[in-house]
Chains A and B, each alone.
Chain A
């Protein structure tokens, strides 16, 4: 039984990490708290749903499409809104993304009502693989593999490509990066797009097993905030591990203490860890 709970927690943790990696990019790298992150995810899920509903393409197969579409959404959001508030004092940028999240969320309500949408009979279903008497959900397993792959991809991108290095340089010192001839405006646009692309991939992977409605992503984004902070800002590997820790803590805590308390345990863990490591588990 405990084994089953841990497996569930791990799989769920990968899904959390999937959402958190995208957030880690904008928040850690650009120092922009993007409250509309959950709504990016929401739009990705609706996108995957409608592609499935209208032309019958399974959400999993529409993954590349969603990656591109939400990348574009991210870049547009940057160019239209974020760029203007980037240097504003205090929490102005936060407020802007908050307004944005209201717009994006309620647009889904406006276009598609608050009805719950389910992708029925997806390519990978909720059927389980049996391993040592434990049930492993196929849909979650695919999402977990996707999360792992995505994190590795993003990390490789940041380490190995010129753009990635430029993003890192910009995050460390914007003025210096500009002096080195980096077009920081372009770098920020790419970072926002990349964050969107991650969420787009997450949405396509999650659409098979999540009921889709305007409020669907609220808790995912709250948890993503905690996960990014727990992992250490700007640390993508940190976000992955923090996601897994949170997932397992939630499942185990829920099982041992009571399922109503499962999120409380997550928040307590953050408070405790942050006392010991004030810059997150993997913070520099």
Chain B
């Protein structure tokens, strides 16, 4: 227990911060940004599984993100099913789709695979933007849950099942998002240290080595991809509930896939902390820049921000976590009086 506390001390510090800050700073603006951070960190963790741990670059995670958003929304709007179930259904559909698509796709190497994932997301974007049943180019505007099911919340269980995912109660929604993120984070951290995680890393380093220790790389890659798709899809559900409006151009484009890449690589690729750290940095800076310069309409915020990304990548290729590790090492070295301890 103490060991876990020590090993994941950073995680506990961050968890405490995520619990306290929304209570201390009560503006919708800050709450929104925290929800943003958690949703994108969630999908970042998902993306990290397949790209960071297993080494298969995906530029198309928006595909699963979008399916999650659409599935839960359609189930809620058309069939009045709680998004909690929609979230699981979306996850299963995404995982199944990931399995079917990637069954054959994993024979592709490197960039050929990355471009293929991009194509899958783009194809889905077109399909959903023309599919009348899901609103086609109009998208779907989510009806407030209380308007959709007027007698909701009679029992405590029903209340929890429905209203915890109603963003109009912003703070509960934030904590729900946090809770689900924690679950995903814990699963990812556990996987990283498990036998499966070890195999994934072996595959990432070398196919031949992986095969020589008697594992089938494709099966393990498929496992990583399906899990990854599932989690990405969960993120999509939260996105839909958060914005209450989705259309194909909002959830499926390359720019969305790139956000997942961006936050994870910025934080630290192949590190469970990467996505959340990257997401925190990205969105708090994004908000700060927008509030400082945004309404001037000059794009200055984006310029400064882009320059910062360049600066970080040029100084520390392992992302922010690389910088954190260095500081840690330095502190540890200081404690031991300069004695090396690696």
Chain A contacts to B: CB under 8 angstroms: 27, 33, 35, 81, 84-85, 88-96, 98-107, 109-110, 113, 214, 222, 225-226, 229, 233, 258, 260-261, 263-264, 267-268, 270-271, 274-275, 278-280
Contact = CB atoms under 8 A, between A and B. Distances in A.
B57 A91 contact: yes
Contact of B309 (A27, A95, A225): A95
B309 A96 contact: yes
Interface string B240-253: 00000000000000
B119 A110 contact: no
A100 B123 contact: no
A33 B313 contact: no
Range class of the B interface residue count: 35 or more
Contacts of A81: 310, 314
A90 B261 CA distance: 11
Given A91-B51, A92-B265, 7 more contacts: A91-B265, A99-B309, A103-B306, A109-B302, A113-B297, A233-B111, A274-B115
Given A260-B126, A268-B123, A278-B112, A88 B310 contact: no
B104 interface: yes
A27 B111 contact: yes
A225 to B, nearest CB: 6
User: Secondary structure of the A side of the interface?
Assistant: helix
B265 A90 contact: yes
A90 B269 contact: yes
Nearest to A233: B111
A267 B122 contact: yes
B186 interface: no
Interface in B308-342: 308-310, 313-314, 317-319
B254 A89 contact: no
Contacts of B130: 258, 260-261
A102 B57 contact: no
Interface of B: 51-52, 57, 104, 107-109, 111-112, 115-116, 118-120, 122-123, 126-127, 129-130, 254, 258, 261-262, 265-266, 269-270, 297-300, 302-303, 305-310, 313-314, 317-319
Nearest to B302: A106
8 contacts: A95-B262, A95-B265, A95-B309, A98-B306, A99-B313, A274-B112, A274-B116, A280-B112
A106 B306 CA distance: 9
A261 B136 CA distance: 13
Contacts of B310: 81, 96, 99-100, 103
A214 B126 CA distance: 23
A233 B302 CA distance: 31
Contact of A90 (B104, B122, B270): B270
Nearest to B130: A260
Contact of B313 (A96, A107, A278): A96
A194 B273 CA distance: 39
Contacts of B123: 264, 267-268, 271
Contacts of B119: 226, 267-268, 270-271
B111 A33 contact: yes
Nearest to A104: B306
Contacts of B297: 113
Nearest to A91: B265
Contacts of A93: 313
A110 B299 contact: yes
B305 A102 contact: yes
A96 B317 CA distance: 10
B115 A270 contact: yes
A91 B307 CA distance: 17
For the complex of A and B, 5 pairs with smallest distance between CB atoms: A102-B306, A99-B309, A88-B317, A106-B299, A109-B299
Nearest to B204: A90
